[in-house]
Amino acid sequence: MTFVSTRIITANIGRLVDFYEQVTGYAAVRYTDDFAEFRTPLAILAIGSTRTLQLFGGDGVASPATNRSLILEFRVEDVDSLFKRLADYLGPALVQAPTTMPWGNRSLLFRDPDGNLVNCFTPVTLAAKERQ
């Protein structure tokens, strides 16, 4: 089995796709008005509108903007530079400025427009670099 993607269901796909374009620096592939993907070298972040829920059994399958348990994580070359670029853009969405974690990653934590937690991190210790 190979893990290949994560999909976020949202009531405002344009806003969320625009946000992740700003944060990641990747252009989304917008297949339809209801579905877009960010293809990174390792995995895909997909974003689907609530209208796509009809294809999976109806509105009750997922609820947008209600996640309180998952953190989307992106390994970046230099988290401090990313923070400098995004600080004004993130504004009140910022949860934690870059901080070195006990496991050796330097992490920037913020929320996307739907409230999902996003962690951008750079391994900074030798042990953390070896795990990557």
pLDDT in tens, 22-51: 999 999 999 999 999 999 999 999 999 999
7 CB burial (10 A radius; 0-12, 13-18, 19+)? middle
Q: Which CATH superfamily is domain 67-132 in?
A: 2,3-Dihydroxybiphenyl 1,2-Dioxygenase, domain 1 (3.10.180.10)
**Predicted model pTM:** 0.94
Contacts of 99 (CB under 8 A, 6+ apart): 106, 107
Strand-pairing partners, residue 106, are: 100, 122
Q: Are the C-beta atoms of residues 81 and 122 closer than 8 Å to each other? A: no
* Structural tokens at position 72: 């989307």
Q: Of the candidates 101, 116, 127, 102, which has an alpha carbon nearest to the alpha carbon of residue 23?
A: 116
CA distance 64 to 49: 9
State the CB neighbour count (10 A cutoff) for residue 132.
Answer: 9
Q: Are the C-beta atoms of residues 50 and 60 closer than 8 Å to each other? A: no
1-56 CATH, one of 3.40.50.300, 3.10.180.10, 3.40.50.1100, 1.20.140.10 = 3.10.180.10
Q: Where in the chain are all domains bearing CATH 3.10.180.10?
A: 1-56, 67-132
pLDDT in tens, 63-113: 999 999 999 999 999 999 999 999 999 999 999 999 999 999 999 999 999
